[in-house]
Amino acid sequence: MNRRKQDTELTVYKKAKELINYTFSITEGKKFPKKVRFVFVNRIQNLVLDIYTDLLKVNEIPLKNRKHIFISVLSNIKVVLFLVEMCLKQKYISFRQCEIWSKHCLNVKYLTAAWMKSCK
């Protein structure tokens, strides 16, 4: 594996961890009303953990079979972005929090897409 691919993979893991950390910091505590905590919070937390888990699986699978995992990661990121947007619309988070959270999601999305492209 060349140096650039290795750096990209390490970066995507780092960015995924940053997404997890930000997600947990935003969703912990009483920021979300109890009635939606299980709908939004649990779903978002599980999705970001699934994204990281799937990214870890990529290197365990032969090159020709990786596409479905990349697609799963990209799909989960889209769902997280949608849920973040819903949290903003429901005023559970501020516009600034939405911007930061979306940026974390998009960092992982673009790095994952680049990694997927390099595996072709």
Whether 104 and 27 have beta carbons less than 8 Å apart is answered as no
* Domains in the chain with CATH codes: 3-118 (1.20.1440.60)
- pLDDT tens for 89-100 read 999 999 999 999
pTM across the whole model: 0.89
Give dist(CA 20, CA 14) in Å, integer. Answer: 10
User: In whole angstroms, how far apart are CA 41 and each of 35, 58, 64?
Assistant: 11, 26, 35
More confident residue, 79 or 61: 79
For residue 63, the model assigns a pLDDT of: 84
SS (H, E, C) 23-47: HHHHHCCCCCCHHHHHHHHHHHHHH
76, 79, 84, 90 alpha-carbon torsion, rounded to 10°: -150
Taking the C-alpha atoms of residue 12 and residue 15, their distance in angstroms, rounded to an integer, is 5
Phi and psi for 62 in degrees, rounded to 5?
-60, 150
Please, what is the average pLDDT of the chain?
90
